[in-house]
Each structure stands twice: as structure tokens, then as C-alpha cells.
Structure 1
């Protein structure tokens, strides 16, 4: 065997030895982790029922727990139930002197556990929670890290449905503040205190998208509560949501405006088109009532008046007013026609009386002094007062009618003055209704938009 063969044999043997040593080192390292866990969490060595000591190992001081979270998503904000759903990664960090261990010169950075019942845990709960669940696909989304200095990090992913009391006076021009409250259930502030982690305790996922809201900002604060059993530590996050108005502008405000304007078409129809005007008024009224009921169905029954209630109520009043306007026009028109017929009958009767009086006058004129009539011409002497009076009456009745002017010609289109009164109601309504509705819009938008800016406090 040559020298080269000896060299390669030695090199191969050295490689096998180094690989074996590396594997032994890894095995020893994992064995070291097992020994550390058995050392700090072994039977009779650690009691998870006893809370850790306070700062610097002080037994009487409360245990400090630092909290931070990561908001992954906000799925919905329900106006009717006054709640919202959120998915978050929740983290707590505290120090337990009993869990200190040797880090093997920095090689063992931390120990990881997946069983929360192995160590002491703060009794934190979400005070405004309605429903909640943990995530267990594929494995439970939870871990506990124990660091060499005894610091413990607990992290878990949870989904919560939380109560959010809302003030809907400015709906849908409103902003809502929804809180997430966390408090200790059994430990008082003498034993346990929750604190927000310094720096950035609340983080929100980028490009958070909500269907009808925008998350403007959030604020962390403390909300310790005192009861007859003691004072309990509490943390809260206030989330400010602004409602997106474009959806309501397209779905509610513009359709309501269109219905009100369509109801005004009745003012331009002929007074005799009764079926058309009644159908138009009733259809717009029913459509507006249906729109109002659909809006209220998606909102909780509250004791105060909302901004949307003012809008729909006034629009419904305008549509109903257009229908009442036609009823008034129809009544005025029928009243005018009745009075016109009575006036016609009276004029005909007066005309017949005048004709009869003229015939009687002519008869008396012929019968008076018949002998003198045959002997003398039919022309009376100027001094005969009786003849002159009868001739004057005949001339008055026989005069042709005067030529009417342009105003009388326009008024002659309507049988009587009462009929023109009903027409004037339509003309006045064509101007009055749009002007009043425009004035209402000016007052409405200026009032609620300014109130929205004034109430924008956080």
C-alpha cells in the first residue's frame, strides 16, 4: 500500500471522529436543556400556584407583568349588536426568580414550553369580552419562553368579540371609540400589577381594511377599578373608528333626494290627471317609507334621534306634503267648478229676466195710447219722459259686449276665479318646495358637519 493510500485513510478516520464529536456535542446540548428543565420545573422544586416575588426578589412587592399586543385583523363592527371582532397576538412578560438557570456561556438563549400550566400565569381576563376562542390549527398557537435571568414571555393568538357601546346621534357622520379592556380577576394591586410595555405596546398590521370604517388612531391607558373586595389592575386600548360616509351617501342620501324630487313632478302635471298624480304620490311615499324601514332595521332601537332619522323624516314629510298638495288642488278645483256652475246658472237666470223685462217694456210701449200710435209716427216727442226712459233701457240691453283685454283673455282659460286659485297652488308649490328643501339641506349639513368636528375628541 502506497503513501497516498495511508494519507486518505487517516483523513477519512479523522472526518469520522469529528462528526462523531459534533453529534455527541449536540446530544449533550439537548441533554443539558432537559436537565435544566428538570432542575427548575421538576417535581417538588417549582409550585405554579405561588406567584413570583416582586422587584429585586421583594416578597411583599407586587409582581409586575408587562403587556403588549399585535392586532392582526378587525373583521367586523356591528352597529346593531354594538360589538366588534378582533384577532390579535397577545403577549405578557414577567420575571420569576425561581426559573433562573445557567445559559452555558451564552449557548442556551432560552427554553421553550408549550404547556402554560407548567409555570405560574397571571389571571388576566378581557372584561368587555362577549365571545372568544384560541387557535389550535395545526398545533395550539401558544408558547412560553424562559430566559436565563428568570424572565418569562407568554404569547398566544386569540380571536375575541368585544362589546363596544356606541353613541349613534351623529350616525352616519359619526366616530366611534371601541375599547379593549384587560384586568386581573383575583389578584389585587397589592399582589399583581399590569403595565404597558415601554416603546410600542400596541402594533397594528399594515393595510388594515374595514368595510365601512377606518381606524384613525388608538391610545393605551390604565383603568384600575375599585370594588368592595379591593383594587384591581386594568389596562385598556381605545380604538377610534371613523365611519366611511361614501357608502351612505350613495345608498341612502342620494336615493332619498331623488325620491323627493320625483314627488315634485306632480306639480307639473295637469289638474285633471288624477290617476297619474295619485299614483306618483302614493308610489314615492311607499318607496320612501320602505327605505326608512330598511335603514332602521340595521340599527338598534335607541331613545334618541339620530342624524339619519332627521334626514329620512324630513324627506318623508316632503313626499307626503306633495301628496297633500294635490288633495288641496283637487279640492280647490272641484269647489271652483261648483261655484262656477252656480254662477253660470245665476247669469242665465239674470239674462232671461232681462230679456223678459225688455219684451215687457216694448209691449207696454206699443200698447200705450194705441189711437195716437196709428195717427202719429212711432217717434216720441223729445219731451216724453216715459218714452225716453224705455228707449234708454232698450239701448242698454242691446249694446254689444266690450272687447276683453289680454289679462282677461288669459283668465278666460279658466272657467272661474276659483279654478285659477287651484292652478296658483301648483305654481307656488313648484317654487316653495325646492326652496324649502334646499334650505333644509343647508341647515342639516352645516349643523351635523360642524358637530362632527366639535365632537372629534379622543
Structure 2
């Protein structure tokens, strides 16, 4: 039995005939025969994989033109432009803002621009009526650009809101201008010996990252290498000078990719610290605290509570003021000018407290103070010398005021005076007649020896010296006298210190 609904396929090498049998009608059976011709697939046209660029491409859009110009078969963006020598790259920066970021660090906002020539991007013969090709990050990703780093950076970021602020300009002759906006935090090693009256010299160093000086050389722009914004203002420093340098630095390693010397560009600038903030917030308050500590000299010596309270509160306020300056500075091994100032002020405040302790002790004494004269030297000596030492001093001076008697004997042995008399004598010894030079000697009464060959001549008696007259002062008088002198000595000493200090920070 034959299935009339089946479809029979007979594959043939060249032609295929399909016979389809359908169910017969009442009158007759119908047979439909379909014949298919085989389809021959032609291989693709074997074109040049990198066809040369033809002139008159002005009709193409910039996207089409840059795609053909930077096609991978004719442009390799991984290698630098082919040159006979080192590729020169000219650099220019526009400094818009700079500030102190942290200890020994600065933060700067700038516009950086590089200019170099890439002959592979030359298109003046391909599209003579086309102007410069302008683009942003998409165009930058299609071409080779130099990789330049900041050598003394801590952190760098290319600025931008929606994307990175990158700009590329390609001229018809192949000159490429690569620009971007940069925020850089960099280190600046400072010498803080004269802080806050110091001037610092900082620098920004640019180096090539991948190519040494035999392949790529950096140069500053010849016309205007560094531009400064008209409204450039630093919060703490004043920019007093800028200059640029070009040099080479050796690589960090002797093996591997980083070998040889690398080209380097240096932008140096000098900053002078603004002292107005420190004068108003630290120096003037510290001067006032020192002056306040002198108020104790006008208080009575036995007024311990107000004088102690004033002295301690002044010292604590000064320590707090000093901590506000030192906490923002780096911990360095050498002493700074600000530390000399605060140390001297602390010594003046401490000395005023020590002066109160001294006069308070004298005020509470009961015995009077003895002295030779009522002068500063003897008053202080009398106040400091203990009673026992003063008694021994008076006894020694009383003994030294006594004078021993002198006596002599005559040449014929006569006794010219009593041995116990306290008189002075002039003794003339006999000598041979041919010399005729008398010898004069003096002898005390205790050592007098009668001699037959000596002649005694009585000398007039000398007047005995009067005993030293001593002055006395009460302890209260001494304490008041010291306070009065301190009212003059302390301000005068502080004034002399200020003359030396400000001469050091501004003149030396």
C-alpha cells in the first residue's frame, strides 16, 4: 500500500527533483513535480586588509575620518612616534590655585598641556580643507600620548564632573596638543627653624614614566612655560618667585625597564609665610599674658591667694596658647623660632611666680636684715645670707680692724720702749761705711729682739680705724624693695629680649 502523503527526496549531484504525491480526486490523481537548482556560495572578495588612504576625504565626518586615520592596521598607539632621535615633548602649565594641604604638603590645581608631533597623524594631504581635529577622552584613547608623572607627588587626580577633563587637538601637520586639568598633592620639605617667619622653596618635578632620555626628552615651552592666575592667592603663604629648570635624573634601578637617565622638568617656586595670623593669635596674646604676670608686683607680699591664683592661671593660659601652635607643626629635632619665643615667655611668667615665693619668705621673717650699705647688692646679699654666716663675717671684719704695735731697738742696745706697748717703729740697720744705704725694716712687738748693732727711731702712732657701721632693714621693707625693683627689672628685661628676638627673625 502506498502512502500518498509522503514526500520523497532524491538527492542528486547537480539537480534535485522532488516528487510530491497528493491524494487523488474523484476524477483523477494529480502529481506535482518541483525541481530546484543548487545555489553556489561565492567566496568573499579578497581585498587588501589595510587599504591606503585616498585623498579628498573632506566629505567624511570627524568620527569616520579619525577612525580611518587611527585604524589599528596603520596606527599603533602602543608605541611612540617614529623619530630619528629622541622625541621632543614641550610642556606648559597654568597654575590656578595652591594651598597648604597638611604638614610638609601642598595641594595645587593646574591645567597641564603637552605639545609634540606625531607624523602618523598627518592628514593635510588627505583632507586639505579640514581644520584641526578636536576631541576629548574618546579621541585620546585612539592615539598615543606621553605618560608623564609627578615625581614628588602624594596623590594626583584628573578633574571632571561627567568625565575626565581631557582635551586633544590634532593639527593637519601632525602636531598634537594634549591637555588636562589636574589636582596634585605633593611633598615640600621645609626648613622650619625660623617658623613662622620662614620662607620655603618648593618644587614640582615631572618625569617620563616609560621612556628614558634616549627616546623622549621633555622641554619647557619657549614662550611661556608657567602661567599664574591673576587671582592666585594662598591663604597662608605669599608667592614671591618662580623659575623653571630642565635636567636629567638617573633611574631607580640598574636592571629591567627603568634604566638609564630620564628627562625631568622642574618648576620651583618660593613661598613666604604670612605672619599676620600668628601675630594676632599667638604673639600678641602671649605678650599680654607676660604683662599680666607682672601685676603681682603691685600686690602686697603676704597676699598669697591672689598672687598664686594670678600666676598659675597665667601659666596655664599660656601653655594652652602654645599648644595651639605646636599641634599643627611636624615633630622636628631642631628648635624653631616660635619655640624660642614661647620658652622665653614661659620663663618670664615662671620668674614672676618665683619672685613672689622669694618675697613671701622674706616677709614672714622676724629678724631684721643687716647689711653694710643700703644698696642693691648688699640688700640682696643680706636677704640671702644666713644669720650665722653674717655673724662670722662681722667677727672676721672686727678682728682685721685691729693693728699690731711695732717696736725696734737702738744700735747701742738701749731699750726704747715697752714690749707690751702697741706702737710702730722704724728700724734702721747699720751697714758698712762704704755702702751708706740704710735698710728699713719693721718688727712686731712680739718678735722684737734687742740688738747692739741697731738704732731705733720712734714713729708717730697711727690712728686706729673706726669699726664698720652696719645698717638694718625690716623684712617687710626688704620685700617691698624687691617688688619695686621687679617692676622695673622685669619689663626692661622683656624689652631687651624683644629687641634681640625681632632683630634675629627679620635681620639675620
TM-score by length of 2: 0.65
Match of residue 487, structure 2, among 430, 435, 456: 430
Q: Give yes or no for contact 1:53–1:62 (8 Å, CA) kept in 2.
A: no
Measure, in 2, the Cα distance between the counterparts of 1:67 and 1:112: 19
SS in 2 for 1:419: helix
Paired residues for 1:325-344 under 5 Å: 325-335=355-365, 337=366
Match of residue 200, structure 1, among 221, 224, 235: 224
> C-alpha deviations, 1:115-156, integer Å up to 9, x for none?
323111212101111112122313421111111111111000
Paired residues for 1:379-418 under 5 Å: 416-418=473-475
Q: Give yes or no for contact 1:332–1:421 (8 Å, CA) kept in 2.
A: yes
State whether structure 2 residue 173 is matched by structure 1 residue 149.
yes
Deviation at 1:431, TM superposition (A): 0.8
Measure, in 1, the Cα distance between the counterparts of 2:328 and 2:500: 26
Question: Paired residue for 1:248?
Answer: 278
Deviation at 1:43, TM superposition (A): 2.6
Gaps of 5+ in 2: 1-56, 370-470
Match of residue 100, structure 2, among 61, 77, 92: 77
SS in 1 for 2:60: helix
Match of residue 111, structure 1, among 130, 133, 144: 133
Runs ≥4 residues deviating over 6 A: none
> C-alpha deviations, 1:226-246, integer Å up to 9, x for none?
133210011111121111111
Q: Give yes or no for contact 2:58–2:127 (8 Å, CA) kept in 1.
A: no
User: Higher helix fraction: Structure 1 or Structure 2?
Assistant: 1
Deviation at 1:103, TM superposition (A): 6.5
Question: Paired residue for 2:338?
Answer: 308
Deviation at 1:285, TM superposition (A): 0.8
Measure, in 1, the Cα distance between the counterparts of 2:230 and 2:59: 39
> C-alpha deviations, 1:435-454, integer Å up to 9, x for none?
11000000001111013xxx
Structure 2 CA distance for partners of 1:162 and 1:191, relative to 1, 3 Å: same
Paired residues for 1:43-442 under 5 Å: 43-54=72-83, 58=84, 61-74=85-98, 76-78=99-101, 81-102=103-124, 107-114=129-136, 115=138, 116-227=140-251, 228=254, 229-335=259-365, 337=366, 416-442=473-499
TM-score by length of 1: 0.71
Deviates more, 1:33-42 or 1:289-298: 33-42
Paired residues, number: 343
Q: Give yes or no for contact 2:155–2:185 (8 Å, CA) kept in 1.
A: yes
Gaps of 5+ in 1: 1-27, 341-410, 452-458
In our comparison, the structure showing a higher alpha carbon Rg is 2
Deviation at 1:338, TM superposition (A): 5.2
Root-mean-square deviation (Å): 2.0
Measure, in 2, the Cα distance between the counterparts of 1:146 and 1:239: 32
Deviation at 1:279, TM superposition (A): 0.6
